[in-house]
Structure 1
Amino acid sequence: MEENLLKEPILDPEKILMLIPQKAPFVMVDSLYAYTNLTGITGFTIPKDNILVEDKLFSEAGLIEHMAQSMSLHRGYQGHLAGLKKARTGFIGAIKSIEIMKLPMAGEKLTTYVEILHEVMGVTLVVAETKNEKDEVIATSEMKTVTVD
């Protein structure tokens, strides 16, 4: 297992926004707990007024976007370590699989583990696993993300 390269978790919303290309109201990550070259652990406390909350539940689209932005945050911190001044833009290229076992409530805190499986020419195959506050796995995915700049 690789060593966590974060000296301490990044919990400051302003620092998180510097590491991702997304802007409000479409930010679905708020913390980075651990970082290695191939893995990361992110967090997100779902605001009650989040754009992807429907009937007090964080929607399927919200969970998918949270997992993708968890990868984006990993990439952003990687760029920060490399001296990049601006977070690189990316998007979901393909979703190979997704399983959503439970939708979390607004106000819940999510923790997501991401791992890079393979990377070629700006296309990254990544797996993600999201847990709720009770440490229950509520969603898993395998997707390809594409970095464009």
Structure 2
Amino acid sequence: MRPPAEPTVAGLPVRWRPRDLPLEPVAVAGIGPVALALAHRAARAEDAVLASWTGVAGTDVLVLLGAAASLPWVDGAVYLGRDSLAPSLLLPCALEPEVAPPLLERALLAGQGDAPLAVLPGPGVLVSVAAAQPVVRASLVAWLTGAEAAS
């Protein structure tokens, strides 16, 4: 019998534990079906709320950035915040890495894309949010249509 696989982020082994004090959310992210649910929820937002967000989307992933109170709630989404010890990373609000955050930041930034990076620990995915653009309803709906067609 094999031991359980070590959790990884971008190929690096990283274990996570609950944070004593959660971070203030600055982003919400989803992958797969959660990304689709997040896009559906975001598409129902008022124009003024949409205009207050920026975001990035890729194959099977959606990240929205904005004020904590405005971010949509979706079951299974990862809410991300900034840890002052690793300001180039958006880390899960409720989890912290067992390794020192500055060391994780240095390791993840080494050739992994432009900062800031959204760190999604469950699937071990990194998403650069450096190119985040204002969220436009037509673009959101177009991404959603393409993502639903691909699934």
TM bin (shorter chain): under 0.3
Higher RCO structure, 1 or 2 (CA under 8 Å, sep 6+): 2
The structure with the largest alpha-carbon Rg is 2
- Provide TM-score, normalisation by structure 1: 0.26
Which structure: greater strand fraction? Answer: 1
Normalized against structure 2, the TM-score is what?
0.26
Which structure has greater helix proportion?
2
